[in-house]
Structure 1
Amino acid sequence: MGAAAASGFALGLSLILAIGAQNAFVLRQGLRRAHVLPVCLTCAASDAVLIAAGVAGFGWIVGKAPWLVPAMRWAGAAFLFVYGALSFRAAATSGERLEAADRGAGTLGAALATCLALTWLNPHVYLDTVVLLGSVAAGWDGSRWAFGAGAVMASFVFFLSLGYGARALSPLFAKPAAWRVLEAVVGVTMWAIALGLVL
């Protein structure tokens, strides 16, 4: 059981470490200290649902509905393109608006809606959690739920560490120019991922 959980934790962590749209959003929320806990918990809980589905053996849904992945790919690409454009616009705004964002401007509902879209409109998350983690968990036979629990724990540890660990970078983002750079980097990241989805 312990070996299965450790293996699930290691694999789950390795799959979410890469810089992506969701991680960039969590990092920015952490830097702004805006709705950090709800955003982190939403990301981790979403992963938990998907991982549980994969461990339970529902990975076959993707194979049974071949239209699902292309539809999600285009929807995700469109969302990321718009989100990237908004980031570029934010990078071009005045320092006062960026400082307002830094103080936590924005509603909880908007933050959670963005978080859910970045998570559930990303087709790669289904391949990573439902298909890949689900198939590896099946190899653990009687310990597959321990494997899944380890992967879920990795998500909670990662997102909470990212969201709250971002505060250590706060002195770096004390100036509006740093926020402009961050917004531009987020915009480039979103557009690059959108282009990757389309291609």
Structure 2
Amino acid sequence: MTLSPYLVGLMTGLSLIIAIGAQNAFVLRHGLRGEHVLAVCLTCALSDAILIVLGVTGFGRITALLPWLAEVMRYAGAAFLIWYGARSLRSALSSDAALVVEARRSSDGPGRTILACLAITWLNPHVWLDTVVLLGAISTRFDDARFAFAAGAVSGSFLFFFALGYGAALVRPVFARPSSWRALEFVIALVMWGIAAGLLLGA
């Protein structure tokens, strides 16, 4: 049986987004903290939706016409991820009681949190590669049904981010110990730096 363009888009979008990355680590941490979860999930999902639509409508051609744009995005994204990784490492090395779940609130308000979320999303070339380039290229297989494909991919983003953000509460008791929070922050730092290294090495 041939799958509908919507289902192909849904499964393809999920397969691209499910691997751990800067966005996912950011959503997971805020989900565990119970901090601005709706804003973070909505920001990530809507950003993905915009990029997917841009890819499906042919925005990927711009990167072909402006090859320098990819380089600018690569270095800007790497710089931001290095800074964010250093911030996570500092938290990992701290023994401050604020890492405990019951005292989990940070000093970042919703505005700063959303700005950080937008930077992690829009300055990350891997997000552009997955949404604009890859999904945009795959959508050309469906001709007039490409918007159904895009709708499926957008649905996958909303499903994943909200499941990750709100589902994190299920493992919140594990992070009632400061040591668990420090371990998570350390892993996040490694992920951020790993992605940054890949960008700088041209991976």
TM-score, normalised via structure 1 length = 0.96
Partner of 1:125: 127
Question: Could you tell me how far apart the structure 1 residues matched to 2:4 and 2:103 are?
Answer: 42
Give the drift of 1:99: 2.8
* SS of corresponding position for 1:26: helix
* SS of corresponding position for 2:59: coil
- Where do residues 140-155 of structure 1 align in structure 2 (5 Å cutoff)? 140-155=142-157
Question: Could you tell me how far apart the structure 1 residues matched to 2:103 and 2:117 are?
Answer: 18
Question: Could you tell me how far apart the structure 2 residues matched to 1:12 and 1:128 are?
Answer: 8
Question: Could you tell me how far apart the structure 2 residues matched to 1:101 and 1:21 are?
Answer: 25
- Where do residues 13-92 of structure 1 align in structure 2 (5 Å cutoff)? 13-92=14-93
Give the drift of 1:56: 1.0
For 2:161, the aligned partner's letter is F
Higher mean C-alpha displacement, 122-131 vs 72-81: 122-131
* SS of corresponding position for 1:67: helix
Question: Could you tell me how far apart the structure 2 residues matched to 1:107 and 1:172 are?
Answer: 25
> Gapped runs of 5+ residues in structure 1?
none
- Where do residues 180-191 of structure 1 align in structure 2 (5 Å cutoff)? 180-191=182-193
Report sequence identity in percent.
57
Question: Could you tell me how far apart the structure 1 residues matched to 2:50 and 2:123 are?
Answer: 15
Higher mean C-alpha displacement, 156-165 vs 136-145: 136-145
Give the drift of 1:63: 0.4
Give the drift of 1:103: 2.6
Question: Could you tell me how far apart the structure 2 residues matched to 1:26 and 1:101 are?
Answer: 19
Count of residue correspondences:
199
Give the drift of 1:149: 0.2
- Where do residues 91-130 of structure 1 align in structure 2 (5 Å cutoff)? 91-99=92-100, 103-105=104-106, 106-130=108-132
- The 8 Å contact of residues 101 and 175 in structure 2, kept in 1 or not, is answered as no
- The 8 Å contact of residues 98 and 105 in structure 2, kept in 1 or not, is answered as no
For 1:107, the aligned partner's letter is G
- The 8 Å contact of residues 74 and 198 in structure 1, kept in 2 or not, is answered as yes
Aligned pair in 2 of structure 1 residues 95, 121: CA closer, same or farther (>3 Å)? same
Give the drift of 1:94: 2.4
* SS of corresponding position for 1:140: helix
For 1:170, the aligned partner's letter is R
Question: Could you tell me how far apart the structure 1 residues matched to 2:170 and 2:187 are?
Answer: 19
* SS of corresponding position for 2:35: coil
Matched, 1:12 2:8: no
Question: Could you tell me how far apart the structure 2 residues matched to 1:191 and 1:57 are?
Answer: 31
Aligned pair in 2 of structure 1 residues 12, 50: CA closer, same or farther (>3 Å)? same
- The 8 Å contact of residues 95 and 177 in structure 1, kept in 2 or not, is answered as no
> Gapped runs of 5+ residues in structure 2?
none
Question: Could you tell me how far apart the structure 2 residues matched to 1:141 and 1:102 are?
Answer: 52
Question: Could you tell me how far apart the structure 1 residues matched to 2:118 and 2:102 are?
Answer: 20
Question: Could you tell me how far apart the structure 2 residues matched to 1:102 and 1:50 are?
Answer: 36
Give the drift of 1:96: 1.4
* SS of corresponding position for 2:19: coil
For 1:97, the aligned partner's letter is A
Q: CA RMSD in A?
A: 1.5
For 2:153, the aligned partner's letter is A
Aligned pair in 2 of structure 1 residues 52, 182: CA closer, same or farther (>3 Å)? same
